[in-house]
Structure 1
Amino acid sequence: MIKNVGEYLEETAKRSPQKIAILEQNSRITFSALEKFAKAVATTIIKTGLSGQSVITFLPKSINCVAAFAGIVYSGNFYTPIDVSMPEARINKIINVLNPACVITNGKFSAIIKRTDFHGKIIMIEDIDKTEIDEIAIRAIRQNTIDTDPVYILFTSGSTGEPKGVIINHRNIIDYIDWAVDACHIDEHTIMGNQSPFHFDISTQDIYSCFKTSATLAIIPESYFMFPVKALEFIREHNINYLYWVPSAFINVSMKDALDKVDISCVKRIIFGGEVMPVKHLKKWQESIPGLLAMNVYGPTEATVNITYYPIDREFGENELLPLGYPCGNTGLLILDDRNKRITEPLKKGELCVRGSCLSPGYWNNKEKTRKAFVQNPLNKFYQETIYRTGDLVHYNERYELVFDGRKDFQIKHMGYRIELGEIETAAMSFPDIPICCCLYDDKEKQIVLFVTGQIDSRKLIKDMKQVIPRYMLPNRIVSIETMPLNQSGKIDRVKLKEML
């Protein structure tokens, strides 16, 4: 029985020592070399006397960063990735919440850490290769590790803008990866093209499914996503056959017509999640790559990665939403109404709640927010059972597939009507002139505002939208912007858009 995610890498290093584990623009590393690198990191940390404490990684997305993750786990500690491009003010907020014992960084970025509120131990990744591995110490730590010990803490933004640290443990990851490897058909022949930042939960599947199966993780340079043709050329050059990206990344490729310029028929499977994938952009990918398999996934960080999945198995109209689908393995889903009664009939909306071993233990050093989000199952009166309230509204369709209806906090009351802003976005993006959009509510002016990219005829768009949504849902204002701002996870940055109201 596996109880520590470090066992994935060890077993694969024994089974396939010379297979490429990770490749990036100018380098690559085998599983055997990666294991040794990680254990050298672990030994360096162990020598500092740290145990069961938080360690920040402040490194570019790279082989070094993945080795640091694994090494921190081998040392009996847990990691928090911080993006090197993150504003210093937010870095300080995370440091003040986390109170980390150690930071692993490099010579280029250590100066930034020294300017922050951090006052602990700094380990330079460049110095690790001089460390002699202490297998006895690492083995002793492993024997005292249990599967509820933390592996990492990822920080998300709360509604107040204050970062919340989501704790994820070994059991959470093992439970999810066992399902993902089977459901997504990941094996030793898979070459996974990484887009997600390592501080975003999608990267959990990228990293640990490769550790488990001996698949290869190909880190696509972040700058290439600004020039989609370069990203596709990288995919073709390295024969990448599996992509798990946020929809904004797929949309950017299709909007720039990059699929017409580079043949990436090597790609056999795409997975998308984190936000809504417009059908028209999915169709562009399917038309460009015959036989392409696609899957829509959904899940909050508080439930590790994903809690639902939907393999695309039928045609959808451009004004339709792709279903969230079905529960992932060993995941319990409940739809609750405003009175905490379970909804089982089709077409009735409620809040999606989750139970199972996918659930995070809660938020780091924040008992109040943990108590609000992780609550007793109101349907269970007999013993303690925690559920997580996602804040997402869903319903069952006639096929009993889950369908996303928007965030509870994206639901507005306008002219006496309750309105889902996501429904307005879906209506707008069903028209060919609207590649991507975002709908917000201006509380001060009491207006529905639709942000769209490019120059469009606002009157024509409103006229078209009248055919698919009621008048009371029509935008009061349409704002054209050159490009849609994205946050560090690659999703639409609603905070920045809100500042433009």
Structure 2
Amino acid sequence: MHEFLLSSAGASPEKPAVIEADPEGGLRTLSYGGLKRRTQEYAAALDALGLDVGDRVILESDTSASAIAAFLACSSLGLTFVPVTPSTPRERLLAVIGAAEPALYLQASDGKRTDLPEGLGTGRFGPEGLLVERAPAPRVRHRREVLTTDPAYMIFTSGTTGRPKGVIMTHRAIIAFYRGMLERSFVTAEDRVATTSPLQFDFSLLDIGLALGSGATVVPVPRARLPWPRRFLQFLADTGATQVNGAPSIWRPALRHEAAALAELTQLRGILYSGEAFPPPEIRHLQRLRPGIRIVNCFGSTESVACTFTDVPNPLPEDVDRLSIGRAHTGADITLVGEDGRVVHSPGAVGEIHLRSAALFSGYWGDPETTGRALVPDPLNPRSGQLVFRSGDLAYRDEEGQLFFCGRADSMAKIRGNRVELGEVERRLLGHPAVAAAAALALPAGDDHVLGAFLVLAPDADEPSAAQLTAFVAETLPAYMVPQELRVLNSLPTTPNGKTDRAKLLATFTPVTV
């Protein structure tokens, strides 16, 4: 991974690799040569610790030049980096630490985390270097050579058991994805790619790979600017960002409140979005403000980073109310399988996406049973030994072969572009002493969705306020997993087989007005 992303350092060492905000409110630039040197300095400090290939290193940081150098340093030594963000709740972080059993915990030099478990090696990194504060426990170094089949990183997502689930990606898999994505020529070496996703999400690694793999420049948007459309747009203008990647929701405040400023971003040529639907009226508004802009719909799961890309028509016709997710990227192929287990061929017939690709995760950390349910024999050639990813996403093809997403076959939802396992939200709510039963759902809210929960209180329990319940959930779950709508019922409706009837719950819900 490090060799692939630093390939431009040899040919263009003085070219900007990262442009970011500095603590004084200005901008600072790190060249490709500077990024390579910082990576090597970090790697030397890590190598002195005697860590073994495959050891896990947690990186707590927002996206920055130093964070990129830190995970590239890990890559060069065969250390599996596990990204988390400074806003990760402590209990969730402890769950990640308990699952990953890292050798080392690194955080950005301005990080505030001080209450880390005893026995865990700790350190900080920044422009000034990488400083080990507490050495990790002595390790046995079995290997030194890094192979493409070794794990490059592990991203923890919501798990159906209520515990974070580690998705393992090898060097070979992520490079295969990068190469397939770069075939689409989304950016050139002269572009500046603004990334808006937190480092702990695979979309941020897509952004970094798209930029550095193209010889372009990464522009991390400060988290504090995203909620404020004027500050967000000003940062894009100041950095000369030509491409902006992120969930569609990052554009909504700007379209509503700063349309004129958005129209003035004449250098903005491309947008790549993922994680949620982009409402067609908002796309048309954006296209009118920035004529000729290229908007790309990216679709997929952490287990493959993404699996499809497609350009949104420009202009988007007024009679189009549903956008295609396109076709599998170069080097990948998609088969749809119906509920009966048979391959679906007919246009309009819905099936579950089964992804065939070199860019697949190798498994869920410490969970072979769940891995076996997701990586299954190729439905077209089950005797071959080839495994494909059973994604849980439902889709159909039109007459031209374009795919259209229909929803999930399981209980996962996307809220504001973030992957949410509804079972994890329910498990946390059930931890409150006043709650006897809970059902979490993605509820319609205009052109978007919000996370909601229906609750049944325990007998004789005092009804907690909505503020008390949301505060309780926020103690252990990130903000996007905290329900925005809470409803108390006498009982939860059930289907004939005894499961919670989510369709009936949705039918009783009055959509939120946005």
TM-score by length of structure 2 reads: 0.77
Shift in Å, 1:160: 3.0
Counterpart of 1:14 in structure 2 is 10
Shift in Å, 1:280: 1.1
Matched letter for residue 259 of structure 1: A
Would you say the 8 A contact 1:349–1:393 is kept in 2? Answer: yes
Q: Between the two proteins, what is the percent identity of the paired residues?
A: 24
Counterpart of 1:338 in structure 2 is 339
Shift in Å, 1:274: 1.2
Shift in Å, 1:202: 1.1
Counterpart of 2:311 in structure 1 is 311
Counterpart of 2:92 in structure 1 is 90
1:285-324 aligned within 5 A: 285-303=286-304, 305-313=305-313, 315-317=316-318, 320-324=321-325
Higher mean C-alpha deviation, range 87-96 or range 348-357: 348-357
Would you say the 8 A contact 1:105–1:125 is kept in 2? Answer: yes
Distance 2:130 2:447 in 1: 51
Counterpart of 1:490 in structure 2 is none
Shift in Å, 1:410: 5.6
Higher mean C-alpha deviation, range 61-70 or range 122-131: 122-131
Cα deviation code 1:434-460 (max 9, x no counterpart) = 454448685979xxxxx999xxxxxxx
Unaligned runs of 5+ in 2: 23-27, 132-141, 414-440, 458-482, 486-502
Count matched residues.
427
Distance 1:294 1:169 in 2: 29
Distance 2:130 2:59 in 1: 19
- Residue 154 of structure 1 aligns to a residue in which SS? strand
Distance 1:93 1:342 in 2: 39
- Residue 180 of structure 2 aligns to a residue in which SS? helix
Shift in Å, 1:308: 0.8
**1:66 paired to 2:68:** yes
Shift in Å, 1:252: 3.4
Shift in Å, 1:370: 0.8
Distance 1:118 1:167 in 2: 26
Counterpart of 2:240 in structure 1 is 239
Distance 2:32 2:168 in 1: 27
Would you say the 8 A contact 1:316–1:322 is kept in 2? Answer: no
Counterpart of 2:477 in structure 1 is none
Once superposed, what is the RMSD of the aligned Cα atoms? 3.0
Matched letter for residue 119 of structure 1: G
Distance 2:38 2:451 in 1: 46
Distance 1:411 1:216 in 2: 34
Matched letter for residue 260 of structure 1: A
Assess, with a 3 A threshold, how the Cα gap between structure 1 residues 480 and 213 changes in structure 2: closer, same or farther. closer
- Residue 309 of structure 1 aligns to a residue in which SS? strand
Counterpart of 1:493 in structure 2 is none
Distance 1:411 1:130 in 2: 38
Distance 1:360 1:181 in 2: 19
Distance 1:347 1:441 in 2: 32
Counterpart of 1:407 in structure 2 is 408
Distance 2:330 2:320 in 1: 30
Shift in Å, 1:161: 2.5
Matched letter for residue 93 of structure 2: I
Structure number with the higher helix fraction is 1
Shift in Å, 1:126: 5.0
Counterpart of 1:102 in structure 2 is 104
Matched letter for residue 345 of structure 1: S
Assess, with a 3 A threshold, how the Cα gap between structure 1 residues 69 and 142 changes in structure 2: closer, same or farther. farther
Would you say the 8 A contact 2:77–2:146 is kept in 1? Answer: no
Counterpart of 1:39 in structure 2 is 40
Distance 1:323 1:159 in 2: 28
- 1:25 corresponds to which of 6, 18, 21: 21
Cα deviation code 1:245-273 (max 9, x no counterpart) = 1122123332x332223411211111111
Would you say the 8 A contact 1:147–1:169 is kept in 2? Answer: yes
Matched letter for residue 16 of structure 1: S
Shift in Å, 1:127: 9.2
TM-score by length of structure 1 reads: 0.79
Counterpart of 1:258 in structure 2 is 258
- Residue 39 of structure 2 aligns to a residue in which SS? helix
Assess, with a 3 A threshold, how the Cα gap between structure 1 residues 383 and 118 changes in structure 2: closer, same or farther. farther
Would you say the 8 A contact 1:346–1:398 is kept in 2? Answer: yes
- Residue 382 of structure 2 aligns to a residue in which SS? coil
Shift in Å, 1:386: 0.7
- Residue 230 of structure 2 aligns to a residue in which SS? helix
Distance 1:16 1:186 in 2: 17
Unaligned runs of 5+ in 1: 132-140, 413-420, 429-433, 446-450, 454-470, 483-501
Would you say the 8 A contact 1:43–1:75 is kept in 2? Answer: no
Counterpart of 2:139 in structure 1 is none
Distance 1:118 1:393 in 2: 45
Distance 1:411 1:103 in 2: 29
- Residue 166 of structure 2 aligns to a residue in which SS? strand
